[in-house]
Amino acid sequence: MTPKDPGPAYCLNPDCGQPIGRSAGCGRPRRYCNDACGRIYRRAREKSPTPDTLAHNAFARQVADDLTRLVARMLELTRAQQPLAALTLIRTVESDLEDLQAALVQQARDQRQRNADIAQCLGLPPEQLTRKLSADAVRRRMDSRPLRTRSRVSLPRQAAQPAAPAPAPQSVSAARIPGQRRSPAEGEETAPSRARDPDQHPTAPPAVLTRALSHLQRSSSKTLRELADDTEVSASYVSRILSGERHPSWKIARLLTLACGGDPAEVQPLWAAARSQAPTQRQSLPAALRGLHLAAARPHTDQLGENTSLTAHAITGMLHGTALPAWEDVEELAHALNAEAQPLRPLWNAACAALAGPHSVTGPVTEVTT
C-alpha cells in the first residue's frame, strides 16, 4: 500500500514559517524547522497571560485601590484628631497589606521570578516563604476576601460615628456583594431577570462544550490537519468533534484545548457537564463560568452588563473569582451566556462552604436544595 503524501508543512513558529521536510514514514511529524526554533516559540507562548495570571493582576489592583482609600480616610481622621476611629482602621489596613503582599508574591511567580529573590525582598528564608505564601495560600486569601470585606464595605465612612447594632447573622446562600446589580436609570424599566425568564431556552451542556472547542479552534487559526497532528487522531474525527457529531474523551478534549492555546481548567467543567458527571473538587466556580464565557465567544463584560441586571464590575469579579455571587446572579450570568446554570450548582455550594468555614462572619451556611 502506497503511503499518503503528507503534503507541504511549515514551521509553527510564526516568526519563522520555514518549510519542514516531512517523511511519510512512521513517527510523529515534525512541527518546527529545528529544536531551537521550537524552544523560542514555546517560550513566547508561556509569556502570554493565562486566566489565572489575569485574576492575580486584578486582585492586586483591587487590594491596592482599597488600601489607597483606607489610607486617605486614616489621614482625614488623623487630621481631625479622632485617634480611636483611626485605630479602628489599623487592623483593616494590616489585613489588606497581607492580601497585597500575597498578590504581589503571586505576580512575581507569574513573571517567573526566582523564589529566593522574592523571599529576599520580604526578608524571609525561601522555605518560610514557600510555607507561608504557597500558591494555595494565596488562592485561599483571594477566595476569602469577599466575605472579609463585605462586613466593612462602609467602614471608612462610618468609622467616626458610633457603632451601630450588629445585624442578625445572614446566610451565605443569600449573600450579595454590594454594587453587584445595576440601578435602573430614571424612567428606565427594569429588565426581567434572564435567570427566571420562561421564554429562555439555554443550550444543553454538550452543545456548550462544542461551542467552546469551536471558538478555541477559530481563535487559534489552526487547521484540522494541525489539530489532528497535535491530538494524534484523524482530521475527520476532529471535524466531527467541532461540529458536535462526536463527544470526545477528556484526553482528546484536553489535547484540543492545549493545541488551541486554551486553559483546560475552563473546559473541564463543560466536558463534565456534557457527560452528566459531577464536578470534581479540582474544579472551581470561576473556572466554570469562564468556560461558559469562552463558549459564548467571550463577549465583553459591558455587553453582558447591558443584557443583565448585573454590573460589568460584578461580572468580572465572578469570572475571576474575586467575589462570591448569589446563586440568582450565577443563574442570570449563565443564561446570559446561553447555557444551563444547574451544572454549576455543586460548584457554587462548594464555594459557599469553603468561604464560610468554622469562623465565618456571616453565620452558618444553610443547606442549599435544588
- Residue 56: what pLDDT? 81
Q: Which of residues 78 and 24 earns the better pLDDT score? A: 78
- Residue 353: what pLDDT? 79
Is there a contact between 109 and 118 (Cβ–Cβ < 8 Å)?
yes
Residue 326 has pLDDT above 80, yes or no: yes
d(CA 224, CA 178): 46
Please give the average per-residue pLDDT across 266-276, as a whole number: 90
Instruction: Round the average pLDDT of the chain to a whole number and report it.
Output: 76
Domain boundaries, the chain: 51-164, 200-356
Q: Which of residues 98 and 190 earns the better pLDDT score? A: 98
d(CA 260, CA 216): 6
CA 304, 264, 354 angle in degrees (round to 5)?
Answer: 75
DSSP 113-136: --HHHHHHHHT--HHHHHHHT-HH
Q: Among 207-216, 316-325, 330-339, 347-356, which stretch is predicted with the lowest mean pLDDT?
A: 347-356
d(CA 15, CA 248): 32
d(CA 320, CA 265): 13
Report whether CATH 1.10.260.40 matches the domain 200-356: yes
**Interval 10-56: pLDDT, tens:** 676 666 767 776 555 555 667 777 878 777 766 666 566 666 777 78
The radius of gyration of the chain's CA atoms, rounded to the nearest angstrom, is 25
- Residue 47: what pLDDT? 60
Residue 364 has pLDDT above 90, yes or no: no
Q: Which three cell numbers stand for residue 49?
A: 497571560
DSSP 4-53: PP---EE-S-TTT--EE---SSSSPPP-SSSHHHHHHHHHHHHHSPPHHH
Strand partners, 203: 339
d(CA 190, CA 177): 20
d(CA 99, CA 108): 14
Q: Which of residues 7 and 59 earns the better pLDDT score? A: 59
